[in-house]
Amino acid sequence: MKCAFSALIILILLYGCGDQPDTQVEAEEGITHVTLMNTEWKLIRLQTGDLTQTEVIDNQPTLNFNLEELRVYGFGGCNQYTGSFLIGDDNSIEFSSIASTKMACPEMEIEQTFYKQIENVTTFEIDENDQLLVLTDEESEEVLVFQTKE
């Protein structure tokens, strides 16, 4: 009986030392990805159609990441939204299947531009102070700039 109990304990300990689930953040990417995932980001600047940067002050869209479900969600300025994301090598990121509620608000331009631009994002960068998240397109143009939500 003691032998069987000891064998069971050893099996439990060995099982606990096994591989972690795929959703575990890799060590070399850990700090950036943990900062990305554990922060609510608010939009402070976005690129409009004429390649100018527009400051966002009122009804700032937000961006949140759920690593376990590979989902993104937040507030678009008027509506709530959700979608999917994938992170690849060299800080590449792709957003897809963005869907939102359909409320009508007086000022929809920022929200509509936000939804359009998030689909153009190809890479991300977080500054050294973990305060700014910059999303860029395939031409390396900043299309969305977020700050940590206070």
- Sign, CA dihedral 81-96-61-132, equals positive
Helices and strands (DSSP H and E) totals, the chain? 3, 9
C-alpha 106/C-alpha 68 separation (Å) is 35
* Per-residue pLDDT tens listing for the chain (150 residues): 555 555 545 545 555 555 444 433 343 345 456 677 878 999 999 887 665 667 777 788 999 999 889 999 999 999 999 999 999 988 999 999 999 999 999 888 889 999 999 999 999 999 988 899 999 999 999 999 999 976
- Chain-centroid distance of CA 3 in Å reads 50
What fold characterizes domain 29-148?
A: Lipocalin (2.40.128)
Residue type present at position 51: L
Question: What are the residue boundaries of the structural domains of the chain, listed by start?
Answer: 29-148
